[in-house]
Amino acid sequence: MCGIVGYIGDRDITSILLVGLQRLSYRGYDSSGIGILSDGELSTWKKSGKLVELETMIDGLSIQGNIGIGHTRWATHGIPNDINSHPHVNQSKKLAIVHNGIIENFSSIKSRLSKQGFLFRSQTDTEVIAHLIEYYMANASLETAVENALLEIQGSFALAVIAESEPDKIIAARRSSPLIIGVGDNENFISSDINPILSHTKKVVYMNDNELAVITRDHIQLKLISGPEIPLKTHQINWNQEASEKGGYDHFMLKEIHSQPHVVRTILSKYIKGKNQIQFKDLHRDGIDLKLINRFIIQACGTSWHSGLIGKYLIEQYAHVLTEVDISSEFRYRQMISQGNDVVMGLSQSGETADTLACIREAKSKFYKVLSFVNVKGSSIDRESDGVIYSHAGQEVGVASTKNYIAQIVTIYLFAIHLAHIKGKLSKDELVNKIDQLNKIPEYMDSILSKADELEAMAEKYYLSREFLFIGRGLNYPTALEGALKLKEISYIHATGYAAGELKHGPIALIDAKLPIVCISPQTSTYEKMLSNIQEVKARKGKTIIIATEGDKEIKNYANDLFYIPKAPEELTPLLACIPLQLLSYYIAVKLDCDVDQPRNLAKSVTVE
């Protein structure tokens, strides 16, 4: 969380920093700020609220300079006000720092520095770094002072520092938060991810933990913090700046929902070769032997955890390999019990989620192999895994994950049937049949999307309800969880997902004539059971919104509102059933005038614990 950008060179500094912050604003949007050195003099501008507040603040100012840093914040320490916004400066306001992460021992450092006369202006943990660097600068260069400060602080950081005393450089460093250097010609860039850099250069250096870089316009020196120099390893990025445009849609989320058939087609074209042969190019990077795997332990958060739950069903169903799924923030503090030949599987859109990354690192330290399903190439989880399957969802801008959810399910599905085939549980013919069935999904999705107006009309009926229940069974129990998460994160309506069979163990007490209950009930092996659960709801006068299979006439009797999805094999129903739920949430949020793409309190990439 929080986005950092930095530039040194001859271009228009304000525009480079502001466009960069715009592209990073998915990482946090509580406040933003920039710090620029012009003729060796430091100036900073910062403002709480969305980036537009900062843009308005500096509109009309003629800001010059060749070196600058910028920050978009997701608040951890201190409320999102102007003072707590980054950059933070030292006592004399001659040094500025932007920071992403959490300094765990900031309070003890702060009280020590306060006793020595340092005056603190903000409630942030970041400000202590500015003062600590100043403290060490009494007897050292900027680089050494930053190193000394970093040796003292505990926690996570990606940071960038500029100072009047050495106005030709940016010092950048990272530990457990991402940071990338863009290598230009007589200019250089830093950023939390590739997006602000891509339109300027395709040559990047991924910084690793505990590395520090001294960046001037024509040189980059990379070293370990207080350690030796490290050879610079540049990577050539061969992808283009994703169109950061809404493409005629009102919101990125809506555009991304509508792009889902295209995403599935892309995945199929990437992984299906020749005559229905599945090939995963980056799966065997480092010694993962699929035949030997006895157990998968899936690690994920949020929506990725929901696709992990579906992954469990698919892998166990097809490949008969025991698969556990855990929320990373829980798993990382438990004892890992190895049964031999276990593989830890990380699922992450961003590839930077702190909890998932921590689990992967813990697993690697205990000699587990790690196989990850990641969307963002070059992300920490991508680089640190022994094998990777890319989601190929394209850049997801909306904070609420939609197309990556679909992409994760499709890639796990392909992986599950591939594994089943390798393990002799699925014949070649069965494999081909499964791929054929998957090939039909984009068309089915198109037909659901063409009926979006039905969901808009449903949203009109229900958008004033303050509570929703989502129920499903089997593979569509995770669909219920995902439907509830989508609704609450973008519309701020309380919603809970339940396994329908669990209703009678407590939640049924909530049901009355006012409560809308979204029932995900396609014709699968648990259909009859689901029907009974829906009748239990009806008997208590609950308002049912049912997602059912086309042609299912009986279910009409129990539905206050009904949305049909095309008939598909059971294992593929989550791919279809989630789309009406995404659209229903979207239209409800729009009617409530919520900020759909950037919901309050959230960030797209959760790089703090």
Catalytic residues: 2, 604
Helix (H) or strand (E) holding 364: helix 354-365
The residues in 574-603 that bind ligand M6R, with binding defined as CB under 6 A, are: 602
Query: 65, 302, 442, 516: which one contacts ligand M6R (CB under 6 A)?
Result: 302
Binding region for ligand M6R (CB under 6 A) out of 162-170, 222-230, 314-322, 349-357: 349-357
Phi-psi region of 135 (alpha: psi -120 to 50; beta: other; left: phi over 0): alpha
Residue whose CB is less far from ligand M6R, 298 or 511: 298
Closest CA to 207 of 86, 197, 102: 197
CB of 307 to ligand M6R, least distance (A): 9
Closest CA to 116 of 93, 104, 134: 134
Q: Measured in Å, how far apart are the chain's first and last C-alpha atoms?
A: 10
Torsion on CA atoms 451, 457, 458, 461, rounded to nearest 10:
180
Find the angle CA(113)-CA(118)-CA(121) to the nearest 5 degrees: 110
Query: 122, 201, 350, 598: which one contacts ligand M6R (CB under 6 A)?
Result: 350
CB of 357 to ligand M6R, least distance (A): 9
The residues in 532-561 that bind ligand M6R, with binding defined as CB under 6 A, are: none
SS3 content of the chain, % helix, strand, coil (to 5): 40, 25, 35
Residue whose CB is less far from ligand M6R, 342 or 489: 489
Length of the chain equals 609
Distance CA 408, CA 392 (A): 9
Distance CA 470, CA 487 (A): 10
Query: 124, 156, 348, 476: which one contacts ligand M6R (CB under 6 A)?
Result: 348
Residue whose CB is less far from ligand M6R, 90 or 350: 350
Is residue 42 a contact residue for ligand M6R (CB under 6 A)? no
Residue whose CB is less far from ligand M6R, 25 or 353: 353
Residue whose CB is less far from ligand M6R, 122 or 328: 328
CA-based radius of gyration for the chain: 25
Is residue 260 a contact residue for ligand M6R (CB under 6 A)? no
Residue 135, SS3 per DSSP? helix
Is residue 349 a contact residue for ligand M6R (CB under 6 A)? yes
Q: Residue 519 corresponds to which tokens in the numbers above?
A: 């029932």
CB of 393 to ligand M6R, least distance (A): 10
Is residue 301 a contact residue for ligand M6R (CB under 6 A)? yes
Q: Residue 563 corresponds to which tokens in the numbers above?
A: 């949305």
Distance CA 364, CA 374 (A): 17
**Do the Cβ atoms of 405 and 578 come closer than 8 Å?**
yes
Taking residue 135's Cβ as centre, other Cβ atoms within 10 Å add up to 22
Is residue 126 a contact residue for ligand M6R (CB under 6 A)? no
What pairing do the DSSP bridges indicate for beta strands 369-374 and 342-348?
parallel
Is residue 356 a contact residue for ligand M6R (CB under 6 A)? yes
Q: How many residues bind ligand M6R (CB under 6 A)?
A: 16
What pairing do the DSSP bridges indicate for beta strands 41-48 and 31-38?
antiparallel
CB of 116 to ligand M6R, least distance (A): 40
Binding region for ligand M6R (CB under 6 A) out of 184-192, 229-237, 299-307, 427-435: 299-307
Query: 66, 192, 353, 385: which one contacts ligand M6R (CB under 6 A)?
Result: 353
CB of 236 to ligand M6R, least distance (A): 25
Find the angle CA(391)-CA(483)-CA(595) to the nearest 5 degrees: 85
**Do the Cβ atoms of 5 and 21 come closer than 8 Å?**
yes
Binding region for ligand M6R (CB under 6 A) out of 169-177, 343-351, 456-464, 575-583: 343-351
Residue whose CB is less far from ligand M6R, 371 or 606: 606
For the window 395-414, what string marks contact with ligand M6R as x by the rule CB under 6 A? ----xxx-------------
Distance CA 147, CA 129 (A): 11
Distance CA 254, CA 237 (A): 28
Is residue 177 a contact residue for ligand M6R (CB under 6 A)? no
Residue whose CB is less far from ligand M6R, 290 or 400: 400
The residues in 448-507 that bind ligand M6R, with binding defined as CB under 6 A, are: 485, 489
Residue whose CB is less far from ligand M6R, 170 or 490: 490
Closest CA to 517 of 493, 497, 490: 497
CB of 353 to ligand M6R, least distance (A): 3
Q: Residue 145 corresponds to which tokens in the numbers above?
A: 């002072």
Is residue 391 a contact residue for ligand M6R (CB under 6 A)? no
Is residue 32 a contact residue for ligand M6R (CB under 6 A)? no
Binding region for ligand M6R (CB under 6 A) out of 160-168, 298-306, 386-394, 493-501: 298-306
Binding region for ligand M6R (CB under 6 A) out of 139-147, 331-339, 345-353, 580-588: 345-353
CA-to-CA dists, residue 396 to 147, 369, 431, 485, angstroms? 35, 28, 30, 17
* Number of alpha helices (DSSP H) and beta strands (DSSP E) in the chain: 19, 26
Residue whose beta carbon is closest to ligand M6R: 302
Is residue 176 a contact residue for ligand M6R (CB under 6 A)? no
Binding region for ligand M6R (CB under 6 A) out of 116-124, 260-268, 344-352, 563-571: 344-352
Residue whose CB is less far from ligand M6R, 90 or 303: 303
| Binding region for ligand M6R (CB under 6 A) | 301-304, 348-350, 353, 356, 399-401, 485, 489, 602, 606
